[in-house]
């Protein structure tokens, strides 16, 4: 059954982590209180089935009592006595269709709780992975800001030396100083952004996080193999968690309609009792009462309540079908959006790789031209700015590609720890090679 498979996927123990990403995701799963609450909700809803089943099974009740009796007869002395007795009663529903429908609804409630847990588990995995990517991107942005500050500082020092020798003007020095101040501000912003991302990730994991991974701009991503758009959309329309939850709501609404209809049917039940009573303190002998009864009850007039409940249940069934249709359309649209974003990020990353290479060559040529006198100080500063910006955009495109890939997997309810481990191993090997 698909519900059992989803829960097995969510609860499957992870293998030994090869890097920090998988450890972050595992710690977030273990630390998240809302996910633990969803897991508890599964146990709560599972008990609805035995509770509903118990309403269809025989019930045996027992009791004991001690009674004080006083009998007054005209022209006779009053009689007073104590009497003990116990009783056993057996009841068994013979036909009650409403209780049978409630049993089916109880199974739907358990399946819904399992789906909601699997959906929450997948959302937490996606959220923690994205938080890790945000911290990784912020850390790399800080490294780029440091590199940019170092390059601008060197250019500023060179401009000052050239001015001292009469080869640079005061304007050149002021331009270099302005870019130096801007680079220092960028570094401060990058440090603050990194600290903010680190706190967000540590809130999810409940522990300090250290980074050991990075993304090399020249490495390929062989695991980013997307199926055709039609396959992704078809899978989203049938397997996404909102669609599956909508399907369960349709089943539950249909059961509610049948339950409302069942209130028109007769109810047949059987009951039996055995009640022996002790002697009445010399007043009477012990007595035993045995009773067996088959009862049939049917509604004759309910003031229009049954018809109203029936109309209400049918309207609820129509509402559930419309919500399922809306969830299906939204899941298809979201899958299409994430597929296109994945392709866009892949193409953008490839284009920016070439732009970064060209900007590196341009900066090198501009520096040589500045030393030869054919380029100005402002030209060098602009080339450094272009290179810094293009590197940042390339890294952003790479992280957008990772995010889009995981979001696309989540949209079709197929995101698992295996996907996280694949990316984690790729990031770890990238860090060891860089």
**Span 79-89, pLDDT tens digits:** 777 778 888 99
DSSP conformation letters of 139-194: HHHHHHHHHHHHHHHHHHHHHHHHHHTTSS-HHHHHHHHHHHHHHHHHHHHHHHHH
Residue 148 is assigned to a structural domain of this protein: no
| Residue 178, C-beta contacts closer than 8 angstroms, at least 6 positions apart | none
Residue 209 is assigned to a structural domain of this protein: no
**221/262: higher pLDDT:** 262
Do 73 and 117 lie in one domain? The reply is no
Do 372 and 417 lie in one domain? The reply is yes
Band (pLDDT 50/70/90 cuts) for residue 247 is very high
Does position 8 have pLDDT exceeding 50, yes or no?
no
Do 258 and 272 lie in one domain? The reply is no
Handedness of CA 233, 239, 241, 246 (dihedral sign): positive
Percentage of residues in the chain having pLDDT higher than 90: 47
Question: pLDDT of 307-339, one tens digit each?
Answer: 999 999 999 999 999 999 999 999 999 999 999
**pLDDT of 4:** 41
Q: CB 47: neighbour CB atoms within 10 A?
A: 12
**5/405: higher pLDDT:** 405
* Of the candidate ranges 243-252, 369-378, 411-420, the one whose mean pLDDT is the lowest: 369-378
Average pLDDT, integer, range 299-303: 86
Do 75 and 50 lie in one domain? The reply is no
Sort 215 into a burial class: Cβ within 10 Å, 0-12 / 13-18 / 19+: buried
> Residue 60: how many CA atoms within 13 Å on its side-chain side?
2
* Of the candidate ranges 8-12, 17-21, 372-376, 387-391, the one whose mean pLDDT is the lowest: 8-12
Does position 215 have pLDDT exceeding 70, yes or no?
no
Expressed as residue numbers, the domain containing 269 is 62-95+265-298
Both structure tokens of 59: 């019930």
* Helix, coil or strand: residue 367: helix
Band (pLDDT 50/70/90 cuts) for residue 38 is very high
By C-alpha distance, which of 211, 200, 310 is closest to 263?
310
Distance of CA 374 to the CA centre of its chain: 59
Q: In the chain, helix, strand, coil percent, each to 5?
A: 70, 10, 20
* Of the candidate ranges 71-85, 181-195, 230-244, the one whose mean pLDDT is the lowest: 71-85
In sequence order, the β-bridge partners of residue 293 are 271
Does position 380 have pLDDT exceeding 60, yes or no?
yes
**pLDDT of 278:** 62
Both structure tokens of 44: 């709560």
Question: Rounded to 5 degrees, what are φ and ψ at 59?
Answer: -125, 130
**73/44: higher pLDDT:** 44
Do 381 and 419 lie in one domain? The reply is yes
| Residue 335, C-beta contacts closer than 8 angstroms, at least 6 positions apart | 232, 233, 235, 236, 240, 408, 411, 412
Residue that terminates a domain, selected from 278, 298, 318: 298
By C-alpha distance, which of 291, 299, 343 is closest to 96?
299
Q: Report yes or no: 116 and 314 within 8 Å, Cβ to Cβ.
A: no
By C-alpha distance, which of 197, 181, 179, 180 is closest to 141?
197
Does position 16 have pLDDT exceeding 60, yes or no?
no
**205/287: higher pLDDT:** 205
- CA-to-CA distance for 106 and 319, rounded, in angstroms? 20
* Of the candidate ranges 28-32, 37-41, 219-223, 372-376, the one whose mean pLDDT is the lowest: 219-223
By C-alpha distance, which of 311, 252, 272 is closest to 111?
252
Q: CB 84: neighbour CB atoms within 10 A?
A: 15
Q: CB 114: neighbour CB atoms within 10 A?
A: 24
Residue 139 is assigned to a structural domain of this protein: no
Do 257 and 274 lie in one domain? The reply is no
Do 259 and 291 lie in one domain? The reply is no
> Measured between alpha carbons, how far is residue 427 from residues 131, 226, 351 in Å?
15, 19, 21
| Residue 159, C-beta contacts closer than 8 angstroms, at least 6 positions apart | 168, 172, 173, 176, 377
In sequence order, what E strands does 211-252 have? none
Mean model confidence pLDDT for the chain: 85
| Residue 234, C-beta contacts closer than 8 angstroms, at least 6 positions apart | none
Distance of CA 250 to the CA centre of its chain: 22
Residue 110 is assigned to a structural domain of this protein: yes
Residue 77 is assigned to a structural domain of this protein: yes
Does position 226 have pLDDT exceeding 70, yes or no?
no
| CATH of residue 7 | 1.20.1600.10
Do 120 and 256 lie in one domain? The reply is yes
The number of domains in the chain is 2
Do 112 and 81 lie in one domain? The reply is no
Question: pLDDT of 88-144, one tens digit each?
Answer: 999 999 999 999 999 999 989 999 999 999 999 999 999 999 999 999 999 989 998
**254/225: higher pLDDT:** 254
| CATH of residue 275 | 2.20.200
Helix (H) or strand (E) run with residue 69 in it? strand 59-71
> Measured between alpha carbons, how far is residue 19 from residues 89, 169, 223, 341, 407 in Å?
65, 52, 17, 27, 21
Residue 121 is assigned to a structural domain of this protein: yes
By C-alpha distance, which of 106, 130, 120 is closest to 11?
120
Q: Report yes or no: 288 and 277 within 8 Å, Cβ to Cβ.
A: yes
Do 278 and 424 lie in one domain? The reply is no
Do 270 and 359 lie in one domain? The reply is no
* Highest mean pLDDT out of 166-180, 207-221, 270-284: 166-180
Dihedral of CA atoms 3, 5, 8, 12 in degrees, nearest 10, equals -140
């Amino acid at each position: 059954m698909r519900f059992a498979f989803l829960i097995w996927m969510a609860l499957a123990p992870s293998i030994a982590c090869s890097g920090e990403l998988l450890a972050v995701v595992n710690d977030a799963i273990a630390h998240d209180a809302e996910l633990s609450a969803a897991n508890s909700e599964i146990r709560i809803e599972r008990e609805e089935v035995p509770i509903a089943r118990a309403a269809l099974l025989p019930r045996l009740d027992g009791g004991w009592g001690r009674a004080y009796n006083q009998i007054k007869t005209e022209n006779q002395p009053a009689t007073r006595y104590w009497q003990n007795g116990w009783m056993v009663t057996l009841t068994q529903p013979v036909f009650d269709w409403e209780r049978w429908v409630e049993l089916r609804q109880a199974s739907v409630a358990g399946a819904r709780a399992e789906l909601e847990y699997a959906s929450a588990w997948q959302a937490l995995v996606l959220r923690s992975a994205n938080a890790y990517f945000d911290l990784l991107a912020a850390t790399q942005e800080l490294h780029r800001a440091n590199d940019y500050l170092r390059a601008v500082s060197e250019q500023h020092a060179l401009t000052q030396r050239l001015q001292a020798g009469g080869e640079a003007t005061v304007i050149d020095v002021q331009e270099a100083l302005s870019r130096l101040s801007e680079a220092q501000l960028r570094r401060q912003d990058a440090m603050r952004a990194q600290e903010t991302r680190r706190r967000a990730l540590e809130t999810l994991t409940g522990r300090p996080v250290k980074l050991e991974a990075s993304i090399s701009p020249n490495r390929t991503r062989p695991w980013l193999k997307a199926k055709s758009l039609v396959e992704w959309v078809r899978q989203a329309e049938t397997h996404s968690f909102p669609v599956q939850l909508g399907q369960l709501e349709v089943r539950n609404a249909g059961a509610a309609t049948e339950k409302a209809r069942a209130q028109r049917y007769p109810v047949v039940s059987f009951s039996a009792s055995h009640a022996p009573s002790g002697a009445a303190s010399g007043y009477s002998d012990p007595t035993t009462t045995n009773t067996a009864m088959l009862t049939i009850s049917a509604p004759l007039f309910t003031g229009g309540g049954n018809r109203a409940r029936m109309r209400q249940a049918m309207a609820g069934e129509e509402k559930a079908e419309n919500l399922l249709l809306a969830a299906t359309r939204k899941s298809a649209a979201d899958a299409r959006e994430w597929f296109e974003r994945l392709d866009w990020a892949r193409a953008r990353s490839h284009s920016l790789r070439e732009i970064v290479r060209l900007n590196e060559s341009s900066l090198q040529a501009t520096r040589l031209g500045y030393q030869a006198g054919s380029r100005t100080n402002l030209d060098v500063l602009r080339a450094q700015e272009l290179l810094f910006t293009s590197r940042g955009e390339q890294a952003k495109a790479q992280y957008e590609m990772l995010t889009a890939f995981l979001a696309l997997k989540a949209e079709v309810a197929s995101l698992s720890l295996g996907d996280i481990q694949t990316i984690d191993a790729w990031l770890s090997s990238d860090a060891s090679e860089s």
